Amino acid sequence: MPIDLLAEGFGRGFSGIPYGWTVAQGTVVVGVIALLKLYFGGATCRSERVMHGKVVMVTGGTSGIGAAVVQELATRGAQVILLTHHAPSDPFLVDYIEDVRTITNNELIYAEQVDLSSLHSIRLFATKWVDNAPPRRLDMIILCANIMTPYFGTSQTTMDGLEAEWMINYLSTFHLLSILSPAIRAQPPDRDVRILFSTCSSYIGGKLDYKTNEAATKSGTSSYARSKLAVMTFANAFQKHLDAYKRPDNQPSNARVMIIDPGYARTPGTRRWLSGGSIWGLLVYLLSWPLWWLILKSPSQGAQSYLLAAMDAEYGRSPGGKLIKECREYQPLRSDVENEEVAKQLWEFSEKQIERLEKQGAVKRALAKKEAEEEKAANEPTTNSTTAGGKRDPTSGSRRSRKTK
C-alpha cells in the first residue's frame, strides 16, 4: 500500500496522493509542537551518582518540584527526611511516604513535623537536631518550600504576624539554617555537604523594604520578588559564614551553597497564581491547559537543575555560591545579592526580627497556657464539700472524722 501511494505520487505528482497535503500539514504542526515542547522543557541533568548512605533534608518535598527531587534522590538510594507541616500520623502524609517507598523501592523515607510559618516550630525541630550527640549525619539540605499569593489576591499573615511570602520563602530558611549551622559545620571533613536554595527570576525586580514584610500587602507579586531577593542575598552570605569558620581539624570548609532557578513549571503554586486563586480563574486555566502544557515544564523537568547541583561531582570540589539554571552556571543579574554591606544589613535585621517575634510568641504561649490551666481548674469538680459555717466536712476515714465519732 505505501509503495502504491509513492508510485502514484511520482507518477501524477504529490497532489495525486489521497489526503497528501492534509497529512503533510499535520506532520508540520506536530513537528513544530514537538520542537517547542523540547525547547520549553529545558535542559536535562546528565550526572549520575549513587546516593546510598546520603542523608538529605528537604522542605516542600510533598508536591511540585520538591516531590520530583525527592523521588529521584530516593530512587538513587538516599535517606530522605521530609520537613512538613503535617503530623507524621496524618493520613495524607502516611500514604504519600508509603507511595514514595513503593515507587523508589527505598524504605528510608521519613517525615518530621516542622511548620515553616511558625518560628517556634522551626526552633523546636532544629534545636532537637543540633542537641543530638554525636552530631547526626547530614549530607544535604534542599529548600524547595515556596508560596506565592495570586496576582489579584492579598498576601496572608502567619501566626507570628509576618507576611507569608517573607516568612515561608525567606525567614524560615534563615531561622532553620542559623540554628542548624553547628550541625553543618560539625560534619567530617571528607563529607560532601551541600545546601540548595530555591529562587526565581522575579528577584530581579525585588526590593528589600524592611518596613512592609510584617503586614500583608495587596499584591503578592512584589512580596514574592522581595523574598526571593532576600533568599539569594542570604545564600551568598551563608556561604561566607561557613567558609569563615575555623574547623578544629584545620581542614577547609566542606559545605557548599548553591542557588537553583528551576524555571517555570506546572506546579500547584504556579497553577494557583495563574488561576488567581478563584474558581473562575481555575476554569480559564483548565480551558487553556494545552498552552500551559506546551510552555511550562513538568515538575520532573523543573527538578533537573536541583539534581545536577545535588549529584554533579564538580560542585563538590569547586567554591560554593553558584547560581544554576537550566543545568548551567549563571551570574546573578542583581549585583547587590553579592554585596557584603547589603547582606550584613539583611542578616542583622533578620536576627532582630526573629528575636523580637520569638519573645512575643513566648509571652502569648505562656498566657495561653495559664488560661488553659485556669479553665481546667475551674471545670474540675470539687472533691470536698463544705459545711454551712464555711468549714470543710471531715473526710471519711480521716483523723478528724475518727475524733468526732
Which backbone phi and psi does 256 adopt, to 5 degrees? -130, 130
Q: What is the CA radius of gyration of the chain?
A: 29
H/E element holding 390? none
**C-beta of residue 51 within 8 angstroms of C-beta of residue 78:** yes
Tally of helices (H runs) and strands (E runs) in the chain: 15, 8
| Closest C-alpha among 40, 46, 103, 67 to residue 307 | 46
| Contact (CB, 8 A) for 87 and 291 | no
Say if residues 395 and 384 touch (Cβ distance below 8 Å): yes
Sheet holding 140-143, edge to edge: 109-113, 79-84, 55-59, 140-143, 193-198, 255-261, 322-325, 328-330
Q: Which of 228, 240, 325, 352 is catalytic?
A: 228
Cell of 301: 523537568
Distance separating alpha carbons of residues 89 and 80, to the nearest angstrom: 17
54 in catalytic set: no
Distance CA 157, CA 117 (A): 9
Residue type, 292: W
299-322 burial, b for 16+ CB within 10 Å, e for fewer?
bbbbbbbbbbbbbbeebeeeebbb
- Residues 323 and 228: their CA atoms lie apart, in Å, by 13
Tell whether omega for the bond before 134 is within 30 degrees of 0, i.e. cis: yes
Q: How many CB atoms lie within 10 A of CB 90?
A: 14
Strand runs (DSSP E) across 137-217, as ranges? 140-143, 193-198
CB under 8 Å to 339, separation ≥6 — which residues? 233
Which of 115, 109, 177, 113 shows the shortest CA–CA distance to 143?
177
Q: Give the residue numbers marked as catalytic.
A: 228
